[in-house]
A and B are shown apart, each in its own frame.
Chain A
């Protein structure tokens, strides 16, 4: 669900189309936007405090064969929540799990890891190397 929650709607559509998995489904809970109160910890590691809210969208769908899929995604993103809930429902069908894992979840996971590595790499480039600082001064 963490991977699906971070997936752009366009990518979900494309990957689902590629797998050819677009069964009919009903909305148990139509996409609905609301808030989550984000909490932090006092001092970073202590008791909780309320930091502020963030927008989230939730959705629940049911495919004909029965399983119910849920999604909570950040932002006001109806389509994204609906698609994530759909994939969540499909994943619970043993006949589909493997293909979806390989052709939807894995590519998304890789894309997300790549993005994170890209950011981490940029941060690493700004790490202060004291040796390098010295050469700059001369």
Chain B
């Protein structure tokens, strides 16, 4: 018997890609899914892909979801790869969430407060019963009429509490914040870089870590001080203009998690905060982010840092799902050269062990 080497890779890849395209389309007896449908009707998926893709563009996120057959991490990946190809024109002025045009705003620490508790389009109080009427949906959806009138200002709960001095104040920082999409992580990592990493971090990973702090692994007695969602304006100062312009809006979800702090010799007991801010309507992620942000401040606040969520290096190096999925899945690439060397190694060691007996 004689074996000859043939180049098997090329045609196999082409065939696999062709089949993938066919699988993505599905049964052609069904109508093709439009990107607009994804954008309008799968909004939470779009939000998640924008947040973790670190790119706010509803249409591109919807396209990525369609192309990825609804695999959201794959969609995030498509968006991240596209983002690499665009030049960066500017950075925005920090968005002012106190001027947010509120669509949802709730606080778990006060029954009522200036501006009130505004539920917004929440699913919090739905009963999770499959709605079989959606199997055969007609066009119309009834929504109660809007309530007209002046909108009350809605100060952030953190600003309300701060009047009493019970809550730590925000501190201004030096000029340009770190950008981990341009400079690799370095330690100690500032809170600016930590928040950036969490904002684009994997929802499941951040959620699990946040959850672990509630089960005793770095607990901080958290309260949801405030969650708000709505549109904010984005402002930039292009070099050629020399003044600040407003270029449009984006939807953000913000969470202020209020946590206990026993105080130190120099700082009286007070409430500290964890902060979450993410693209889109993405409340679970914003809350989990705030928990993990607070946990990572353990060392700064003089607390013992022993739990995974408090370990900055551990959290930052593992929260990015594109890094994670790439490296986990790369195990399916061929490793036979390495395995071959291990095979020989084990055979040699076994032979040596047998000879010694």
Contacts and interface: CB of A to CB of B under 8 A. Distances in A.
Classify A-B as touching or not with yes or no (CB < 8 A).
yes
Contacts of B121: 126
B66 interface: no
A78 interface: no
A127 B116 contact: yes
Contacts of B145: 121, 125
A48 B192 contact: yes
B170 A45 contact: yes
Nearest to A120: B151
A102 interface: no
Contacts of A118: 146
Interface stretch (A17-25, A28-36, A89-97): A28-36
B139 interface: no
Interface centre among A50, A60, A119 (most CB of B within 10 A): A50
Contact of A52 (B59, B178, B199, B275): B199
Interface string B226-264: 000011011010101100011111101010100000000
Interface in B86-125: 86-98, 101-104, 111-112, 116-122
A79 interface: no
A75 B50 CA distance: 13
A36 B236 contact: yes
B89 A128 contact: no
A47 B196 CA distance: 13
A39 B233 CA distance: 12
Contact of A37 (B117, B143, B179, B246): B179
B177 interface: yes
Contacts of A125: 144-147
Contacts of B193: 49
B336 to A, nearest CB: 40
A8 to B, nearest CB: 12
Interface in B190-231: 191-193, 195-196, 199-200, 230-231
Nearest to A119: B103
A127 B117 contact: yes
B173 A128 contact: no
B94 A40 contact: yes
B102 A44 contact: no
B267 interface: no
A118 B147 CA distance: 9
A73 interface: yes
A132 interface: no
Nearest to A46: B170
A56 interface: yes
B196 A51 contact: yes
B147 A124 contact: yes
Nearest to A129: B116
A56 B118 contact: no
A40 B51 contact: no
Contacts of A47: 170-174, 177, 192
Interface in A42-91: 42-56, 58, 60, 70, 72-76
A54 B250 contact: yes
Given A49-B192, A122-B143, A124-B147, A54 B57 contact: yes
Interface of B: 50-51, 54-57, 59-60, 83, 86-98, 101-104, 111-112, 116-122, 143-149, 151, 156, 158-159, 170-174, 176-181, 191-193, 195-196, 199-200, 230-231, 233-234, 236, 238, 240-241, 245-250, 252, 254, 256, 273, 275, 277-279
Given A44-B254, A126-B104, 4 more contacts: A1-B245, A35-B86, A42-B275, A126-B120
Interface of A: 1-2, 5-6, 32-56, 58, 60, 70, 72-76, 116-128, 130
For the complex of A and B, the 8 pairs showing the least CB-CB separation, nearest first, are: A47-B173, A121-B146, A46-B170, A74-B248, A54-B56, A2-B246, A49-B192, A124-B147
24 contacts: A5-B245, A35-B87, A35-B88, A36-B90, A36-B91, A36-B236, A36-B247, A41-B96, A41-B170, A44-B254, A45-B159, A47-B171, A47-B174, A49-B192, A51-B199, A52-B55, A53-B54, A54-B57, A55-B57, A70-B238, A72-B89, A123-B103, A125-B144, A128-B112
